[in-house]
């Protein structure tokens, strides 16, 4: 047989043997990423790296600077995901609770200081200034909801009297604006209402109710009824990502949003949450040759890649944003086979860097790693809230 | 110059295209280049995959270029290099079986002659 033909056939046969085996070399069982109790190896290493970032201002500054070049929101969300992770870490690893709480307080205090000093636009993307907010005075539910959830999570773990009025003020403000809104939709950006932010804000309101004895159950019930009626895309059955204050959709169902929305709904309506996760898993989640990933849009919706979806890898239509957030969905709903396949992918294509017991994914950034840490630790905080609200 | 080429070790001498040695040489080259890029710290630049600049000082263009180079060689290392090695093994096995088959009739002829 001619050499070239023999070589080509050998290469093809070798590819057929190797490609299905590739994932075995990167395989991580779900338990390596998240454990029902205690800390998984991934959670331990990711937490160690983030704790170091918050004790080393030079390194932290460098990380934040890189993210802010692309998106100021990431600076803020990196703080939120880390603070929420630390609350779960307190419950999973009580021996180190003082260190976790100290870091959590530092994050909250610095975030509040920056918000007060620089104004809310400091954590928003520049287009927030293109048009005025419709509701005056201007408030972003994105900031209010996530800050309120940070404060509520901190107080759920251990009361801090200084944070009580701060949480009450945020919650009362959000509740009052919900009351004034005809459609129960609040702006995160001018005339742009994100379902993600509503889920987080309502979680914070529910947690504050458990902590301080207020009752916003009617608001939560009404919002859920409105969401089912107006915010569900009829073709996919998935919640859309964003709409205008009158309910007109802006962005349809998106992977970078829905996985977290399903997680936040767990605290508000477990059945609705499960339904959204199952639909997202079916329409957005995929496993090829042992590698798990997620699409940004279901087949029934066409969208353009943006800062949330991240670059879309053609052919497989893999979205970095959706795949990262899929960890939160898979962890929340105990979908271990999908979680293991996602963990396998991040070992393969996340470019992990392990050093002195600390882990970072080079293909990610601080907010991405903080979201992964949250996925690796979530659970105990929601359980605590569901069982009464305070540790 | 001629002398230097003549002294080059056998493993570095150019092999015939798609021969087992050629495939192994290519796999080896990929491995060496990847580890040089890795030791140079280019892994850090892969953050462009999520839309984050690898280095504020170097800027988007250079960071992106370094990331692409690193990612290509990483994929070549984990996807292509093992295929090249496996293919080389398959070709060698093929050649051995072919050679054994080719010598078999001679042996039979020799045995018949002995009889």
What is the predicted ipTM?
Answer: 0.87
Asked if residue A204 lies in contact with residue A145, where contact means CB atoms within 8 angstroms, the answer is: yes
Give A-chain residues touching B77 at CB under 8 angstroms: none
pLDDT at A110: 96
pLDDT at A22: 97
Asked if residue A98 lies in contact with residue A157, where contact means CB atoms within 8 angstroms, the answer is: no
Could you give phi then psi for residue A358, rounded to 5 degrees? -115, 145
pLDDT band at residue B3, thresholds of 50, 70 and 90?
low
**Gap between the Cα atoms of A345 and A249, Å rounded:** 33
pLDDT band at residue A33, thresholds of 50, 70 and 90?
very high
pLDDT at A324 over 60: yes
pLDDT at B1 over 60: no
Burial of residue A378 (number of CB atoms within 10 Å: 0-12, 13-18, 19+): buried
| B4 to chain A, closest Cα gap in Å | 30
Cβ–Cβ contact B40 with A under 8 A: no
Query: Which of A2, A4, A14, A327 should one mutate to test binding to chain B, selecting the residue with the greatest count of B CBs within 10 A?
Result: A14
pLDDT at A148 over 90: yes
**Longest CA pairwise span in chain B (Å):** 84
Q: Do B51 and A311 touch (CB under 8 A)?
A: yes
Query: How many C-beta atoms lie closer than 10 Å to residue A10's C-beta?
Result: 24
**Chain segment A81-94, per-residue pLDDT in tens:** 999 999 999 999 99
Of A194-198, A256-260, B51-55, which range is least confident? B51-55
pLDDT at B7 over 80: no
Q: Do B51 and A7 touch (CB under 8 A)?
A: no
Give A-chain residues touching B84 at CB under 8 angstroms: 11, 14
Beta strands in chain A (DSSP E): 193-194, 242-243, 249-251, 285-288, 291-294, 312-313, 318-319, 352-355, 358-361
Q: Of B53 and A273, which is predicted with more confidence? A: A273
Q: Do B78 and A3 touch (CB under 8 A)?
A: no
Candidates A15, A353, A365; nearest CB to B52: A365
User: From B98, which residue of chain A is nearest by alpha-carbon distance?
Assistant: A1
Of A40-54, A235-249, B8-22, B58-72, which range is least confident? B8-22
Q: Do B83 and A14 touch (CB under 8 A)?
A: yes
Q: Do A4 and B17 touch (CB under 8 A)?
A: yes
Q: Do A310 and B49 touch (CB under 8 A)?
A: yes
Q: What is the mean pLDDT of residues A374-382?
A: 98
Query: Long-range contacts of range A296-305, CB-CB < 8 Å, 24 or more positions apart?
Result: A296/A254, A296/A255, A296/A256, A296/A321, A296/A322, A297/A252, A297/A253, A297/A254, A297/A255, A298/A235, A298/A236, A298/A238, A298/A253, A300/A233, A300/A235, A300/A236, A301/A233, A301/A235, A301/A236, A301/A252, A301/A253, A303/A251, A303/A252, A303/A254
**Chain segment A250-308, per-residue pLDDT in tens:** 999 999 999 999 999 999 999 999 999 999 999 999 999 999 999 999 999 888 878 78
Structure-token match 């840490």, residue found: A373
Cβ–Cβ contact B92 with A under 8 A: no
Structure-token match 């001679």, residue found: B106
Candidates B16, B51, B54; nearest CB to A3: B16
| A12 to chain B, closest Cα gap in Å | 8
pLDDT at A344 over 90: yes
Cβ–Cβ contact B17 with A under 8 A: yes
């Amino acid at each position: 047989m001619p050499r070239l033909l023999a070589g080509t056939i050998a290469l093809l046969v070798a590819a057929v043997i190797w490609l299905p085996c590739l994932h075995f070399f990167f395989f991580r069982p779900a338990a390596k990423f998240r454990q029902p109790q205690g800390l998984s190896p991934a959670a331990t290493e990711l937490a160690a790296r983030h704790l170091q970032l918050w004790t080393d201002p030079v390194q932290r500054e460098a990380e934040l600077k890189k993210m802010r070049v692309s998106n100021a929101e990431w600076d803020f969300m990196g703080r939120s995901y880390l603070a929420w992770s630390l609350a779960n870490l307190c419950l999973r690893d009580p021996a180190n609770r003082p260190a976790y709480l100290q870091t959590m307080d530092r994050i909250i205090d610095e975030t509040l200081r920056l918000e007060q000093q620089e104004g809310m636009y400091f954590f928003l993307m520049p287009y927030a200034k293109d048009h005025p907010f419709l509701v005056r005075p201007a408030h972003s539910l994105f900031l209010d909801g996530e800050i309120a959830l940070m404060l509520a999570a901190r107080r759920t773990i251990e009361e801090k009297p200084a944070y009580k009025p701060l949480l009450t003020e945020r919650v009362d403000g959000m509740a009052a604006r919900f009351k004034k809104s005809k459609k129960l939709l609040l702006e995160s950006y001018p005339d742009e209402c994100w379902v993600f932010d509503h889920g987080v804000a309502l979680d914070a309101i529910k947690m504050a109710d458990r902590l301080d004895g207020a009752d916003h159950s009617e608001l939560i019930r009404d919002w859920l009824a409105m969401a089912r009626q107006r915010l569900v895309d009829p073709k996919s059955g998935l919640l859309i990502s964003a709409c205008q204050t009158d309910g007109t959709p802006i962005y349809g169902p998106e992977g970078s949003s829905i996985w977290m929305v399903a997680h936040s709904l767990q605290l508000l309506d477990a059945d609705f949450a499960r339904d959204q996760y199952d639909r997202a898993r079916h329409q957005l989640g995929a496993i090829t040759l042992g590698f798990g990933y997620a699409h940004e849009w279901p087949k029934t919706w066409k969208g353009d890649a943006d800062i949330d979806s991240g670059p879309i890898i053609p052919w497989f239509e893999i979205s970095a944003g959706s795949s990262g957030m899929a960890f939160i969905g898979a962890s929340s709903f105990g979908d271990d086979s999908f979680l293991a396949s996602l963990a396998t992918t991040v070992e393969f294509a996340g470019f992990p860097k392990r050093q002195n017991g600390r882990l970072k994914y080079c293909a990610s950034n601080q907010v991405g790693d903080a979201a992964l840490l949250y996925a690796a630790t979530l659970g105990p905080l929601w359980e605590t809230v569901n069982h009464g609200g305070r540790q | 110059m001629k002398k230097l080429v003549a002294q080059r070790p056998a493993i570095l001498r150019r092999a015939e295209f798609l021969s087992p040695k050629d495939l192994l040489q290519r796999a080896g080259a990929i491995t060496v280049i990847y580890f040089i890029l890795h030791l140079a710290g280019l892994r850090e630049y892969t953050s462009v995959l999520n839309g984050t600049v690898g280095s504020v000082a170097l800027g988007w263009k250079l960071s992106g270029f370094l990331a692409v180079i690193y990612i290509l060689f990483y994929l070549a290392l984990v996807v292509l290099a093992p295929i090249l090695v496996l293919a080389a093994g398959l070709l060698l096995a093929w050649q051995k079986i072919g050679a054994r088959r080719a010598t078999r009739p001679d042996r039979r002829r020799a045995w018949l002659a002995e009889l």
